[in-house]
Structure 1
């Protein structure tokens, strides 16, 4: 309902309606104020009222989310990169009240041309997270339902079945030795011998390495907990090659990505990810005779089910020798 009052020669109108923010504005004449009130109330009744935030674009929300929320995330760098890519796309210039599911479908189609289905889903989920934060945390008046909710995500199988043979591993190491990033060879070897994640490797602090006990501790891992693992003498040799600084492997992430991509391409392993080395390491541990419980301590997996289904990747061919021995 609209309420009118006159003050200092102007007519002030205030409109209050459940489910909508309070609207107030001043006019010279009462007739103009009355017409404005009727128009706003009509829009509210029809669900067409866009509120005072109708000019806010998706780009503005993305920037605010990046600068105020993402900076506190563990995966800040990765998420920031994705947000910046969305900002560069024309979809970010659309106002939040004008953004429709058709725009998101078109954006999804563009992403699908160069990115995997799982990655496409991540981008759309990110937009939805920004949208929900704008409504629930920042109290911005905008459509409650995010257009992303109306976009059907294609079903996909995200299972990777890539293993690394001894020949391929040695070829990868040979190519790493030729890299201008001199520690690339040791980074790969360290990952292969420990099953550690990249983030765990580069964040490993010198104070968390005990060479006498042959133990190292990764702090604040992906599972939000610390993990201590046993290391071999080969791993100790690698770490001793980097005696300076709080951490052992100090390398700019962009430089690592560039040199890693060149290395794997040169080794003929273009689709092989650095994280796949973790899978190869786990597979080797299991084949060496370590129990699932022992491997779980090293890898840090909370679930043995995840460990066996996603990381073990033991092939029937790997078991031929053991089967032959059991038959004797």
Structure 2
């Protein structure tokens, strides 16, 4: 049982008003008593007695209804857009934001949902946002729209603890089942896409042709080939350093490798195949640059996208080369544990569910003559 009473104390200040009288302020003191706990005091000062009376009445009523001090007291009221910008500027969370998440955050902040006060966000607001996205000129898929919902949830979950902003996830639990039922959002499906031998041949021929252009300085063909040989992500390839390459041992240290728990400090030594070693040793940056492949990953990715589009190959991403490399290693007879040493996966199910893209046709070829 909690009881609360307020008292108003009239206080005369040192400064004087226009009439030469000491300025008066009104200090409200709320005394809170809860059985089994020490009494608590809350104070606030007002210039006018009426405002002090109103505040005292409202606050004591809230305290008794909530059986204590409401947790929303002391929290700030920000719009979702303002909260997102604080999240992006946070000294520890901001630097960890990846490229895709960055664009999702920026889009959310600039949308109508970014104008809503975080504490007032409802499931209907999220539904309207997803419906607008689905009908946009860019025609995003329900899987893409799900990223908006997921990223928004991450920001809102950090609001109270990290930013002292009044917000809750009630809207999310209310909206998500209906959004999925209506087909507005959808979790990503298992990706099966792998380039065929013919596609790989066409892509590398086009990349080599592009490299001969006088304005092209990026060896995109060699970087793509290295992605298959090493099973590395593009961002890992473009920050690999000469000092971390051991030609005698045939290994490379990948620093701060992506990990769902903690990326910073997650350094992994990976074994390299002969083709990957030969590609590294052939790079002209040896001896005159810290990085093996000193190129902007966005520029490399853009070059890949342009070339693939120019030769009319559909739905093939640079990241699919990592899956191709892992699949080839599994087909070569390496165990899953051995492949994980190359790919860097700590969880076997992630490798099996997302990167093992062995086709039914390949398995069929292995089954011939067995029964």
Common fold by TM > 0.5: yes
**Which one of the candidate residues 91, 99, 106 is aligned to 2:113?**
91
Partners of 2:356 and 2:82 lie apart in 1 by 44
Alignment of 1:7-18 (within 5 A): 7-8=11-12, 9-15=24-30
**Which one of the candidate residues 50, 53, 71 is aligned to 2:94?**
71
Partner of 2:283: 241
Query: Could you tell me how far 1:200 is from its partner in structure 2?
Result: 1.9
User: Is contact 2:25–2:45 with CA below 8 Å preserved after alignment?
Assistant: no
Larger Rg: 2
Distance change in 2, residues 1:279/1:25 (3 Å) = same
Partners of 2:283 and 2:61 lie apart in 1 by 74
Partner of 1:230: 271
Query: Could you tell me how far 1:127 is from its partner in structure 2?
Result: 2.1
TM-score (norm 2): 0.75
Query: Could you tell me how far 1:207 is from its partner in structure 2?
Result: 0.9
SS of residue paired to 2:118: coil
Query: Could you tell me how far 1:231 is from its partner in structure 2?
Result: 2.5
Partners of 2:349 and 2:276 lie apart in 1 by 28
Residues 1:148 and 2:151 aligned together: no
Partner of 2:255: 219
Query: Could you tell me how far 1:12 is from its partner in structure 2?
Result: 2.5
Residues 1:183 and 2:203 aligned together: no
Partners of 2:238 and 2:129 lie apart in 1 by 35
Distance change in 2, residues 1:84/1:45 (3 Å) = farther
Residues 1:60 and 2:82 aligned together: yes
Greater relative CO, 1 or 2 (CA 8 Å, sep 6+): 1
Query: Could you tell me how far 1:325 is from its partner in structure 2?
Result: 6.3
TM-score (norm 1): 0.84
CA RMSD of superposed structures (Å): 3.2
Query: Could you tell me how far 1:209 is from its partner in structure 2?
Result: 1.0
Partners of 1:40 and 1:288 lie apart in 2 by 71
Distance change in 2, residues 1:100/1:309 (3 Å) = closer
Query: Could you tell me how far 1:326 is from its partner in structure 2?
Result: 5.3
Partners of 2:351 and 2:274 lie apart in 1 by 25
User: Is contact 1:202–1:247 with CA below 8 Å preserved after alignment?
Assistant: yes
Distance change in 2, residues 1:127/1:187 (3 Å) = same
Partner of 1:203: 239
Could you tell me which runs of 5 or more consecutive residues in structure 1 were left unpaired when the two chains were aligned. Answer: none
User: Is contact 1:194–1:231 with CA below 8 Å preserved after alignment?
Assistant: yes
Partner of 1:27: 47
Partners of 1:109 and 1:23 lie apart in 2 by 46
Could you tell me which runs of 5 or more consecutive residues in structure 2 were left unpaired when the two chains were aligned. Answer: 13-23, 34-40, 181-185
How many residues of Structure 1 are paired with residues of Structure 2 in the alignment? 324
Partners of 1:254 and 1:164 lie apart in 2 by 21
Query: Could you tell me how far 1:132 is from its partner in structure 2?
Result: 2.6
Identify the range of structure 1 (171-180 vs 9-18) with the bigger mean alpha-carbon deviation: 9-18
User: Is contact 1:2–1:13 with CA below 8 Å preserved after alignment?
Assistant: yes
Residues 1:105 and 2:140 aligned together: no
Query: Could you tell me how far 1:78 is from its partner in structure 2?
Result: 3.9
